[in-house]
Homo-oligomer: A and B are copies of this chain.
Amino acid sequence: MKIGQATIKDIAKALNVSSSTVSRALKDYPGISDETKRKVKELADKWNYRPNAVALSLRKSKSFTIGVIIPEVVHFFFSTVISGIEEVAFMHGYNVILCQTNEKLKREISSVETIISNQIDGLLVSFSKETTNFDHFKRLIEQHYPVVFFDRIPNLENSVNITVNDYQGAFDATKHLISQGYKDILHLAGPRNLDISKNRMNGYMDALKEAEMPVKPHRIIECPEGVQEESFKICAKVFKEQDRPDAIFANNDMAAAGAMRGVKSLGLKIPEDVGVVGFSNWQFSSMVDPPLSTVSQPGFKIGERATQLLIEMIEQKGDEPFTPKLEILETELLIRGSSVR
C-alpha cells in the first residue's frame, strides 16, 4: 500500500529542479550547491519524505531483508533464536521475513519460492522434520545465494552452518546421571532424520561406553513427535516391567516431561527411583515437580551469530562462492531436582 508519501519527483517538481538533483542533494553528493541542498532537504523534511524501499530494491537488486525459515514459532528454543536474529538484523538495518513451516516440507518449499520471488537478500534456515531431500536449498547454494543453516543442519556441500554441540550436551547429561549412581539409562531419542537426534544419541552412547556400561538397543526408543503423550505412554509401559530402567535421558524437555508423568503414574519417585534429564531448557522445565535437569542451548546466541554470518555473506560483494563453515556453540548442563539423589 502506498501511503500518501512524497516522492523525489514531487519534491523536484515543487522546486523546479530535476529528480536527479533532488536524489543527489539528499545524499550529499559532491557538486550540488549548498543552496539547492538546503532547499531540497528542507522540503523533504517538511513533507516527511522517506525513500521508497521497493523502488530501491528493484533498482539495486537488494532489499535489506532476510528470510527466516523455521519449523515452529511457538517453541521456546526457536522463539529465542528469532529474538537473536531480530536484534542483529535490526542493528544492521535489515528486515526479517518470517516463514513458519509447521514441520511441513511442502510449506518449506513454498517458503523458498517466496524468498526467491521477493528478492530477499539471504536466508536463515532450520529445516522441517519432514525434510530429507534438500534440493530446494541446494539450488540456492549452487547459485551462490547466501544461506545459513542453524540448529538443524543438513549435510550439504559448501553450506554454512551453525549449531550447538548436541553431542557434548548429551554426553554431559548422561555422564551426570551415571555419576549419580543410575545404572540403567533409557534414551528417548528424536526423529532419526535429524542430525541433532543422532548427535544426542551418540553422546548418550559414548558416555555409557566411557563408563564401561553396556549400550542396550532396547533402551533407545524413538519419540518422533516429541509430544508429552508419546513419552508418557512409552514410559508408563516400559517402567511397569520387572527389569526396568532407573533413569531417562530424553531428546527434549517435552518428552522428558511426559516421561516424568508416565513414571510417576506408576508410583515411582523422581529422582529417588528414576532420574530424568531433558534437553533444551524450555521455560517450563524449572517448574515441573521436581524441577527438570536439562541441557540448555544458547538459542539467542545462535540467532545472533547466524545473522552475523549471513549479513557478512550478503555484504561480501563478488561472485565467489562462500567458504563453507560449521560453527558449534557449547551447551550448558543445568542440574536440578530430577536427577540428584
Binding site for B on A (CB under 8 A): 1-5, 50-55, 57-58, 61-63, 65, 72-76, 79-80, 82-83, 86-87, 90, 95-100, 107, 113-114, 116-122, 140, 143, 145-146, 228, 257, 261, 264, 282-284, 287-289, 314
Contact for A82 among B3, B57, B73, CB less than 8 A: B73
Write 6 A-B pairs (CB below 8 A) sorted by A numbering. Answer: A54-B118, A54-B119, A87-B100, A95-B114, A95-B118, A283-B283
Chain B residue numbers with a CB within 8 Å of A287 are 228, 257, 261, 284, 287-288
How near does chain B come to A253, taking the closest CB pair, in angstroms? Answer: 9
Set B82, B114, B284, B314: member contacting A284, Cβ < 8 A: B284
The chain B residue with its CB closest to the CB of A253 is: B287
Report chain B residues within 8 Å CB of A50: 113, 116-117
Contact B62 A1 (CB under 8 A): yes
Starting from the known contacts A5-B116, A53-B114, 6 additional A-B residue pairs (CB-CB under 8 Å) come to A1-B61, A1-B62, A1-B122, A53-B117, A53-B118, A74-B79
B73 touches A76 (CB 8 A): no
Q: How far is the CA of A1 from the CA of B123 in the complex (A)?
A: 11
Known A-B contacts A58-B55, A288-B288; A145 and B1 likewise in contact (beta carbons under 8 Å): yes
| Contact A146-B1, Cβ < 8 Å, known A118-B53, A284-B288 | yes
- Distance from A18 Cβ to chain B, minimum over Cβ atoms (Å): 21
Question: Which residues on B sit within 8 Å (CB–CB) of A1?
Answer: 61-63, 119-122, 145-146, 314
Of the candidates B53, B76, B99, B314, the one whose C-beta lies within 8 Å of that of A74 is B76
Q: Please report the C-alpha to C-alpha distance between residue A90 and residue B100 in the assembled complex, in whole angstroms.
A: 9
* Given A3-B145, A118-B53: A97 touches B100 (CB 8 Å cut-off): no
With both beta carbons as reference points, the residue of chain B lying nearest to A63 in the complex is identified as B54
Chain B residues within an 8 Å CB radius of A57: 54
Q: Tell me which of B2, B98, B257 contacts A98 (CB under 8 A).
A: B98
Please pick, from B3, B63, B73, B119, the residue contacting A116 in the complex, using a CB distance under 8 A. Answer: B3
Instruction: Determine the chain B residues whose CB is within 8 A of the CB of A90 once the complex forms.
Output: 99-100, 107
- Which of A53, A62, A146 counts the most B-chain CB atoms under 10 A from its CB? A53
Nearest Cβ distance between residue A294 and chain B, in whole angstroms? 13
Contacts of A3 in B (CB 8 A): 116, 140, 143, 145
Task: Select one of B52, B96, B116, B282 contacting A97, CB under 8 A.
Answer: B96
The residue that A73 contacts in the complex, of B79, B97, B118, with Cβ under 8 A, is B79
A2's partner among B86, B119, B146, B228 (CB-CB below 8 A) is B119
- A62, A65, A75: which has the most chain B beta carbons within 10 Å? A65
Known: A96-B98, A119-B1, A287-B228. A83 touches B76 (CB 8 A): no
CB within 8 Å for A52 and B289 given contacts A1-B314, A76-B283, A95-B97? no
Distance in angstroms between the alpha carbons of A65 and B115 in the assembled complex: 12
Among B5, B65, B79, B283, the residue within 8 A (CB) of A282 is B283
The residue among A54, A95, A282 with the most chain B CB atoms within 10 A of its own CB is: A54
Q: CB < 8 Å: which of B4, B55, B61, B83 contacts A143?
A: B4
Residues of B within 8 A of A314 (CB): 1
3 tightest A-B CB contacts, nearest first: A284-B284, A289-B289, A2-B61
